[in-house]
Structure 1
Amino acid sequence: MSTYPGYLRSPHYYETDQMGIVHHSNYIRWFEEARVQLLNYLGCSYKEIEEAGIIIPVLDVSCTYKEMIRFGDDIRIAISIQSYTGTRLTFDYTIHPENSEKVLTTGTSSHCFLSAETQRLIRLKKTHPQIHQIFEEYYEQTRGE
């Protein structure tokens, strides 16, 4: 499997403040959009995960703003799996201009896997080995990039 090329996006006008700068709260939404697209790319969509009886709550999220992003900017959100244990998953995000490696924003989000029915932590390797394999293989493939 090839590495996910990143999520392309242009800020919407409503996401900006009076100066045309993207409001800080939108970056967390963008991270979620990038996560959803990465899972689709991996062939394991949020919908399929939820239909399998798994929920993936956010445990922690962070965002570091290095440079402003403005209305009209085209951006690429690079997303990778920072760590994966089978019960927990952490993503790294780096936002760049679409055609540059200049870093505009960085962030992380940490998640766990819960049974939708019991709301208890599950080990994907035991309960959903096919989903575990997707995360494990992609994590191993992209580690160190």
Structure 2
Amino acid sequence: MEYTHIVQYYETDKMGITHHSNYIRWMEEARIDFLSQIGWDYAKLEEMGIISPVLNVTCDYKISTTFSDHVQISVKVKEFKGVKLHLAYEMKNGEGKTVCKATSSHAFLNREGRPIRMKDEQPELYKVLSDLAAE
């Protein structure tokens, strides 16, 4: 799945390059878009009583980006075993060069903060994510 982010002026620092913290925000944007693309909009998950907090984030910065760059972000399911979802991101600039490789890990919890057994409690979402992990 692909998502495009256009670097905003406020995302750059005094040197005119994108501040590193923004890449994590872009991952969040891309993840929310990814869920929508697979038919599981985050608002829908919340309505169902599912929350998905971030457990871990890694970023490996390759090339700087600057104001008005178009950054293509691909999102793939790296691993899914029912409770934790591990995503992989690759961000490329307009020239197709990789600017960042990243990962994020998320849990699936109910409103009380307890882990959800996705296979039993949300079998449709479990199947979609399992199938994407197998690709």
Q: TM-score range by the shorter chain?
A: over 0.9
1:29-108 alignment, distance < 5 Å: 29-100=25-96, 102-108=97-103
Identity %: 40
TM-score between both structures, scaled by the size of structure 2: 0.95
Match of 1:110 among 102, 105, 117: 105
1:104-143 alignment, distance < 5 Å: 104-116=99-111, 118-140=112-134, 142=135
Deviation per residue, 1:56-82 (Å, 9 max, x gap): 010001111111111121110111111
- The amino acid across from 1:79 in the alignment is V
- The amino acid across from 1:114 in the alignment is L
- Superposition deviation, residue 95 in structure 1: 0.6
Aligned-partner SS, 1:31: helix
| Stretches (4+) displaced over 3 A | none
Any stretches of 5+ residues in structure 2 without a counterpart? none
Aligned-partner SS, 2:98: coil
Q: Is the 8 A contact 1:8 1:98 kept in 2?
A: no
- The amino acid across from 1:127 in the alignment is E
Match of 2:3 among 1, 7, 15: 7
Aligned-partner SS, 1:114: coil
- The amino acid across from 2:130 in the alignment is E
Query: 1:135 and 1:59 mapped to 2: Cα distance?
Result: 18
Any stretches of 5+ residues in structure 1 without a counterpart? none
Q: Is the 8 A contact 1:84 1:135 kept in 2?
A: yes
Deviation per residue, 1:3-57 (Å, 9 max, x gap): x2x1111100000012220001101100000000000000101111111111101
- Superposition deviation, residue 112 in structure 1: 0.8
Alignment partner, residue 19 of structure 1 = 15
Query: 2:36 and 2:62 mapped to 1: Cα distance?
Result: 28
Query: 1:52 and 1:132 mapped to 2: Cα distance?
Result: 14
Aligned-partner SS, 1:90: strand
TM-score between both structures, scaled by the size of structure 1: 0.89
